[in-house]
Amino acid sequence: MRILITGAGQGLGCHIATAALSRGNEVLAAVHSLSHVSKEISKLQERYGERIMVFEMDVSDEQSVQKAVQTLSSKEEALDGIVNNAAIMVEREKTIEELDLSAMQISFEVNTIGPMRVVQQFLPMLYRGNEQVIVNISSEAGTIINAFPTNYPYSMSKTALNMFSERLREYLREKDIQVYAVHPGWMRTNMGGVDAPADPRDIAAGIVDILERKKKIYSKIAFIDSTGRPMPL
Ligand SMILES: NC(=O)c1ccc[n+]([C@@H]2O[C@H](COP(=O)([O-])OP(=O)(O)OC[C@H]3O[C@@H](n4cnc5c(N)ncnc54)[C@H](OP(=O)(O)O)[C@@H]3O)[C@@H](O)[C@H]2O)c1
């Protein structure tokens, strides 16, 4: 498969790239900025050579996504998978009185409109692929049933991402392009912190199984966990 991964510079995105490459796939690794490429990404480049292409793409910036798609579509004929992984979590502890509403705008720009923008721009390449799968990395924080009193920007942007995933899934159903919103679990990354129970390498393996259509997924909704089980809404 040829798989595009956003926010691939570190954290879960980098682990998904590693797992996908180790299984023989090609990876288009979109990093937030080329000015600070991580050691992990450099190692993947050394190890896998032309099977990994690293380029800059800020998902909140229309021109940045357009530039990436222009560069890639001339070189790459097709794409089989997209992982919308890039996200931010800001103003997590702020109450409604304390919240800077610009945090809402930037969170939706990165976490919700970012994936929409990437899908919109990369769909022509995806249409030329085979057994295509789109994975939008979501979060349990986006479930209404588990709502708690803060974390407005992150949780609301993920709820909206779940709705986007559901609608896109219906839109692409006839073309047999699968669409999921995947809750990865609480993982040890910069975002999750050191106390998180899950190893992102295990989660990445589950997500690559979903991309490779190796899991039987019986969910009626797009929102699932990394083992393929449906998530509560
Ligand atoms: N960690 C958890 O416990 C947890 C739980 C539930 C869901 N998730 C979800 O899992 C996914 C991966 O999270 P993570 O834990 O790996 O987080 P992370 O360590 O903070 O990594 C996030 C990645 O997104 C990139 N990014 C941020 N803004 C971007 C932008 N505008 N354009 C492009 N890339 C951008 C970051 O690049 P820079 O570092 O260069 O800015 C980084 O590579 C996210 O969707 C997150 O919401 C995580």
What does the pLDDT look like over 96-105, one tens digit per residue? 999 999 999 9
In CATH, which of 3.40.50.720, 3.40.640.10, 3.40.30.10, 3.40.50.10190 is domain 2-225?
Answer: 3.40.50.720
Distance 189 CA to ligand 1 centre (A): 9
Residue-range domain boundaries for the chain:
2-225
Q: Is the CB of 10 under 6 A from ligand 1?
A: yes
pLDDT of residue 135: 99
pLDDT of residue 74: 73
Q: CA triplet 100, 232, 178: central angle to 5 degrees?
A: 95
pLDDT of residue 76: 61
> What is the arithmetic mean of pLDDT over 21-40?
96
Q: Is the CB of 132 under 6 A from ligand 1?
A: no
Query: Can you tell me which atom of ligand 1 is nearest the CA of 9?
Result: 43
- CA dist 13 and 83 (Å) reads 8
Distance 157 CA to ligand 1 centre (A): 13
> What is the DSSP secondary-structure string of 11-68?
HHHHHHHHHHHHTT-EEEEEES-GGG--HHHHHHHHHHGGGEEEEE--TT-HHHHHHH
Q: Is the CB of 153 under 6 A from ligand 1?
A: no
Contact 82, 4 (CB under 8 A): yes
